[in-house]
Chains A and B, each alone.
Chain A
Amino acid sequence: MKLELQKGSRSKILAAMVLGIMAVFVVRLFYLQIIQHGYYVNIAKSEHQRRLDIPAKRGLIYALDGQTPVPLVMNQQIYTVFADPSITTDDGKIIEVIKKVAGGNARDNLESLLNKKESRYQILATKITRTQADMIKKESLSGIGFQEESQRVYPEGSLAAQTLGFVNADGIGQYGIESKLNDELIGTDGMLQSVTDVNDIPLTIGSDNIDIAPVNGKNVVLTIDRNVQSHVEQALADGLKRTGATRGSAIVMDPQTGKIMAMANLPSYNPAKLNQVKNVAVFNNGVVSAPYEPGSDVKTLTMATGIDKGVVSAGDTYNNTDYIQVDDRTITNATLGHTGKITFQYALNWSLNTGFVTVAQRLGDGKEITLGARNTMYDYFYNRFKLGQLTGIEVSGEATGTVIPPNSPDGNAVRYSNMAFGQGLDVTMVQVASAFCSIANGGRYYQPTVLAGEIDAAGNYVENKISTPSNPISKSTADQVREMAHTARNTFFTSVDKPGYYVGGKTGTSQVVKNGVYASDETVATYLGFGGSANTSRYVIMVQVSGDHKELQGARDALPIFTDISNWMLDYLKIQPKG
């Protein structure tokens, strides 16, 4: 008997249903395995594959000790100890061990933290060292874990704090070198993508493992000499104590290279104890970020302009009446009584404003500070000595300052008469010191720098090349002004310098603008000078002291600090005295 499915029979219906169900399965499987393939592969990968960032080490910062790099900023692995209170068992022992090992880094309320049994994460101690972490690990405390992180450490404490800056909690450099060179110091994190086991240990199985090594940050060497820096900070602190000033800044430069050997500001801070800083103003590096009216220090630059243009010399004379009229303004000397025919050397010795307004006039028609005279002064001050513009020094927060051009409505004869003796322009100390270096070194302007070089991967110190200088003034001009500054210093301060050396400088006492007018009860005292042998200046030092409602004077308050540093530098640099 032949069996056949009858049309419309139940078997046919069942067959059709099975076929239909199979078709649904096929479509569903096609969707899951073909169309959704990538999605499910990614889910599977996320289950058994891990992607770990390998943090790059932030570059170290070195200073110099003579010619040898010494670390100023280093990295240290530190640990945060945390507990999972829901699984801790022996809380008493945990408290005892943490207090004993972590000491001051342990939280005060350990018992209450461990009593929060509903919590899975409580920090018990922070910033403990590897040795301390190992001691805690040895106790095999259940429910205790460690988080590793890196922090900056400062073996020299607060030395050169404002030059260095610091690194914030996100690992980003703030202020100073840390901020300016953040991209070079930070390096590039590496990556490890791999199949891992349950303990997150990377395994080599798998076809798309990735292992990219981190590129550590650059290890930079500063031109800062730690011995010079330390002495400058001490001399500045002593000076503030002696004078009653509340703020002080100093910079020491090598005029033959533009390298900055020291840059100090007080009050300062310890970058390792940022939480103790109450006034964030201490983070600023006043040497580069605080423009001010420099006062009589600039008379050396005015004199250099006049000599270089051939309109005056040290021995030329003018008639001093203690007053000089410029348009509708009368300019007065701070020191009165040296009237009559006097030389410009004498005017520099006594810092007589009239002498330098006369130089400005002689740059014009001899009677007025004409547009031509103003253009010449602007060319020398702005273009050649680079006052009122960024020097390019490698610390953050550098301020431009202001030198008003002659074509500006404010760039009139009165303005330029003031600029001739250092008022009416805003400049930073690093700008003035760099400009003065060109007087001390025979007429070459070097861009100031704090970067001496770097430590390469092999650990060798590779020095940067010295930048190519410009020539703002002739060697003859520079030598004449250098001699004038030497004479000016030795006219009044003959016994303060070590004998046998060639030291010169200029005082500055400048008025301070407050609320748009010159304050009557506050001045900034500065001293700008050089030292070394008669043939070669080995250093340029600029000192500034100030304080709210303090009337300070360059000769009385800033000069002794210069002298302290200068005499020490002569010994430190092993300069042989003449005679």
Chain B
Amino acid sequence: MSYQRVQSYSSRRQQNWSRNQNTVAYVSAIKLGPVTHTVLIAFMVTILGLIYLTQATRATGYDYEAQKIDNQISQLNTEKSDLEIENARLTALETVKHSSVVATMSKPASTQYANQ
């Protein structure tokens, strides 16, 4: 016995279908065989894989950017530390004592104090 769907209305009573179920079925005219199904699934898996790879690559790209910025921050911090050290050396007592400014200074002959 063979069964064939047709695009035609059939009474649900005639079909003995359960209540509240679709009573119209649209059947595609295109027929897909098992090989086509397999190819389609493989294709979808490939697409999903590519999407994953794209996202992963993009995230890794951000990692490289972040690393680059971290390196810049580190380098700038090192430069800042070096400048602070240089500043400390230039303002150190020994440097100040031997500076040309100090060489021109003289001791005051007398000191006056304002009354408090």
**A residues whose Cβ falls under 8 Å from a Cβ of B:** 70-71, 74-77, 129-131, 153, 155-157, 159, 197, 201-205, 226-227, 230, 571, 576-577
Tell me the residues in window 84-113 of chain B with beta carbons closer than 8 Å to chain A beta carbons: 84-85, 88-89, 91-94, 111, 113
Closest Cβ neighbor of A131 among chain B residues: B82
* Contact with B94, one of A74, A129, A156 (Cβ below 8 angstroms): A156
Contact B88 A155 (CB under 8 A): yes
* Contact with B93, one of A71, A74, A159 (Cβ below 8 angstroms): A159
Closest Cβ neighbor of A231 among chain B residues: B93
- Shortest CB distance B80–A (Å): 11
Given A155-B92, A576-B113, A74:B85 Cβ within 8 A:
yes
**B residues whose Cβ falls under 8 Å from a Cβ of A:** 56, 59-60, 62-64, 67, 78-79, 81-82, 84-85, 88-89, 91-94, 111, 113, 116
Contact B84 A204 (CB under 8 A): no
Contact B59 A204 (CB under 8 A): yes
Given A74-B81, A77-B78, A205:B91 Cβ within 8 A:
no
Given A74-B85, A74-B88, A156:B93 Cβ within 8 A:
yes
A132 CA to B63 CA in the complex, in Å? Answer: 29
* Contact with A155, one of B60, B81, B89, B116 (Cβ below 8 angstroms): B89
A275 CA to B60 CA in the complex, in Å? Answer: 47
Other A-B pairs, 16, CB within 8 Å; known A130-B79, A202-B67 = A71-B88, A74-B85, A76-B82, A155-B85, A155-B89, A155-B91, A157-B92, A157-B94, A201-B63, A201-B64, A204-B59, A204-B60, A204-B62, A205-B56, A227-B93, A576-B116
Chain A residues contacting B116 (CB-CB under 8 Å) are 576
Residue among B78, B79, B93 with most chain A CB within 10 A:
B93
Contact B91 A204 (CB under 8 A): no
* Contact with B59, one of A70, A77, A205 (Cβ below 8 angstroms): A205
- A-B complex: 10 closest residue pairs judged by Cβ atoms: A155-B88, A203-B63, A576-B113, A155-B92, A71-B88, A155-B89, A77-B78, A201-B67, A156-B92, A230-B93
- Shortest CB distance A145–B (Å): 17
A401 CA to B111 CA in the complex, in Å? Answer: 44
Chain B residues contacting A576 (CB-CB under 8 Å) are 113, 116
- Shortest CB distance A198–B (Å): 12
Chain A residues contacting B85 (CB-CB under 8 Å) are 74, 76, 153, 155
Contact B88 A205 (CB under 8 A): no
A223 CA to B94 CA in the complex, in Å? Answer: 20
Chain A residues contacting B64 (CB-CB under 8 Å) are 201
Contact A74 B79 (CB under 8 A): no
A202 CA to B65 CA in the complex, in Å? Answer: 11
Closest Cβ neighbor of B84 among chain A residues: A74
Contact B81 A77 (CB under 8 A): yes
A129 CA to B78 CA in the complex, in Å? Answer: 10
Chain B residues contacting A201 (CB-CB under 8 Å) are 63-64, 67
Contact A76 B81 (CB under 8 A): yes
A185 CA to B78 CA in the complex, in Å? Answer: 19
A204 CA to B94 CA in the complex, in Å? Answer: 50
A571 CA to B82 CA in the complex, in Å? Answer: 35
A230 CA to B78 CA in the complex, in Å? Answer: 30
- Shortest CB distance A132–B (Å): 11
Residue among A70, A77, A197 with most chain B CB within 10 A:
A77
Chain B residues contacting A76 (CB-CB under 8 Å) are 81-82, 85
Chain B residues contacting A156 (CB-CB under 8 Å) are 92-94
Chain B residues contacting A571 (CB-CB under 8 Å) are 111
Chain A residues contacting B78 (CB-CB under 8 Å) are 77, 130
Residue among B67, B88, B94 with most chain A CB within 10 A:
B88
Contact B63 A202 (CB under 8 A): yes
A156 CA to B92 CA in the complex, in Å? Answer: 5
Chain B residues contacting A74 (CB-CB under 8 Å) are 81, 84-85, 88
* Contact with A203, one of B60, B81, B89, B92 (Cβ below 8 angstroms): B60
- Shortest CB distance A197–B (Å): 8
- Shortest CB distance A243–B (Å): 24
Contact A577 B92 (CB under 8 A): no
A227 CA to B96 CA in the complex, in Å? Answer: 12
- Shortest CB distance A131–B (Å): 8
Chain B residues contacting A157 (CB-CB under 8 Å) are 92, 94
Closest Cβ neighbor of B115 among chain A residues: A576
A418 CA to B53 CA in the complex, in Å? Answer: 89
Residue among B56, B82, B92 with most chain A CB within 10 A:
B92
Chain B residues contacting A204 (CB-CB under 8 Å) are 59-60, 62-63
Chain B residues contacting A70 (CB-CB under 8 Å) are 88, 91
Can you list 5 residue pairs at the A/B interface with Cβ under 8 Å? A130-B82, A155-B88, A155-B89, A156-B92, A197-B60
